[in-house]
Amino acid sequence: MRLDSEYSKWDMMKRLLDTAAEVIKGDVKRCPICGSPTVDPAYVKEQLSEVISKLQKLEREIKNLQNERDKLTNALEISGKLRNKENNISYEINYLDSEIKRIKRETEPYEPIAKTREIELEEFKRKREDILNELKVLEMSIKDISDELGRVSGKLGELKEKWDTLEGKLDEIKRELGSPEHLEIASTKVPVEKAVEICPYLIKSLEQLIEHLTDKIERQKADFAKRFNDAISRLLRDLQFELDAMIDPNTLELIVKREGKIQRLTSLSLSERAALALLIQIALKEAFLPDIPLFLVDEVILGFDRSRVERIINYLLEMAKNKGMTIVLTRLSDKEEVRVITDASSNFSLLP
């Protein structure tokens, strides 16, 4: 409004100056403002130029202000639209917030159930993993079983071929023998039909007997090996031998070790082999014939070194004393002579 009034004022002055300019040109004889018959043209021109300059400046300012006004108007329109959108969004937010609260209120009773279901779900997942692992194991087992079935099937095929071959040979034998009416079982003639019924039972009984005897033999072998190994281990320890000896309970083979390493019998010295043979005799005597009061020792003992002979003689004397035994030491000689040995030192008179 201020610019409009300012513009109007200067516009009025411009019109007055335009009139003054007409006076200057001589068209008007008197001043239209004051009525004076004289007018200063230079002054009028100066004032007119100043007024025109201010009017132009005002026009520019008015134009700029009009542009600013248009911008503000657009901004106000946009602001109004944004305010409407803000109101709408605020309404939507309030609505959604109320809906969330409502849903929370409605779902609160189900939260314990949901937690329980989560725990159950985790348990189901764990069981699923266990089941998958078991399935993998089963798949491997099935594969192994399938492979084994393949091998068994192959063996069954081979057995069937053998069975067919045996049946063919049996048919040939039957044709060669004719049709016998009796078969001899355990020195008794039995009708063929009855023998066919009896034979499977006899075969089964024989198989059980063989199994029993085999088991008994294995137990006896193990017992024999244990008793012998206990006896010879005790002898080797008491007589301070550097060798270890034992019998394998499965093969009944003699195994000799030195410092934990197996030694071949041929790698032992003559004295060691002779001493080992004597110890085996003593071990067998103590393990299996403890009640027989007689024990024979040949002259091979006299070939040992002095300390070893003394230890063995002392052991034999102790054994004879404790068990009431008679131990006979034999030696090849041109003359017949019997000596009673009561201690190890007296034995050395027998040495050549």
pLDDT digits (tens, 9 = 90+) for 269-300: 777 777 778 778 877 777 777 777 887 776 66
Which amino acid does the sequence have at 87? N
Query: What pLDDT shows up at residue 178?
Result: 53
Query: What pLDDT shows up at residue 194?
Result: 73
Query: What pLDDT shows up at residue 16?
Result: 65
Q: Which residue has the higher pLDDT, 81 or 148?
A: 81
Provide the pLDDT confidence category of residue 261 given band limits of 50, 70 and 90: confident
Whether the CB-CB separation of 205 and 212 falls below 8 Å is answered with no
Give the lowest-confidence range in 93-97, 332-336, 338-342, 344-348. Answer: 344-348
Is the predicted pLDDT of residue 186 greater than 80, yes or no? no
Mean pLDDT confidence for 161-178: 66
Is the predicted pLDDT of residue 349 greater than 50, yes or no? no
Query: What pLDDT shows up at residue 225?
Result: 80
pLDDT, tens digit, 9 for 90 and up, residues 24-64: 555 555 555 555 555 566 766 676 677 777 777 877 877 88
Query: What pLDDT shows up at residue 317?
Result: 81
Whether the CB-CB separation of 257 and 242 falls below 8 Å is answered with no
Mean pLDDT confidence for 213-222: 80
Mean pLDDT confidence for 235-244: 79
Is the predicted pLDDT of residue 180 greater than 60, yes or no? no
Q: Is 32 exposed, middle or buried (0-12, 13-18, 19+ CB in 10 A)?
A: middle
For the chain, give the mean pLDDT: 72
- DSSP H stretches of helix in 108-189: 111-177
Highest-confidence segment of 89-93, 110-114, 164-168: 89-93
Cα–Cα–Cα angle for 181, 187, 192, rounded to 5 degrees: 20
Give the lowest-confidence range in 79-88, 172-181, 197-206, 213-222. Answer: 172-181
Cα separation of 39 and 32, whole Å? 10
Is the predicted pLDDT of residue 11 greater than 70, yes or no? no
Is the predicted pLDDT of residue 350 greater than 50, yes or no? no
Query: Which candidate, 223, 239, 322, 250, places its Cα nearest to that of 276?
Result: 239
How many Cβ atoms sit within 10 Å of the Cβ of residue 275?
25
Query: What pLDDT shows up at residue 141?
Result: 60
Cα separation of 75 and 69, whole Å? 10
Mean pLDDT confidence for 252-266: 83
Cα–Cα–Cα angle for 23, 42, 17, rounded to 5 degrees: 45
> Over pLDDT 90: what percentage of the chain?
0
Query: What pLDDT shows up at residue 352?
Result: 41
Provide the pLDDT confidence category of residue 348 given band limits of 50, 70 and 90: very low
Strands across the sheet with 254-258, in order? 243-247, 254-258, 261-263
Mean pLDDT confidence for 201-221: 79
Whether the CB-CB separation of 347 and 309 falls below 8 Å is answered with yes
Residues 6+ apart with CB under 8 A from 236: 243, 244, 245, 279
pTM surpassing 0.85? no
Query: What pLDDT shows up at residue 347?
Result: 44
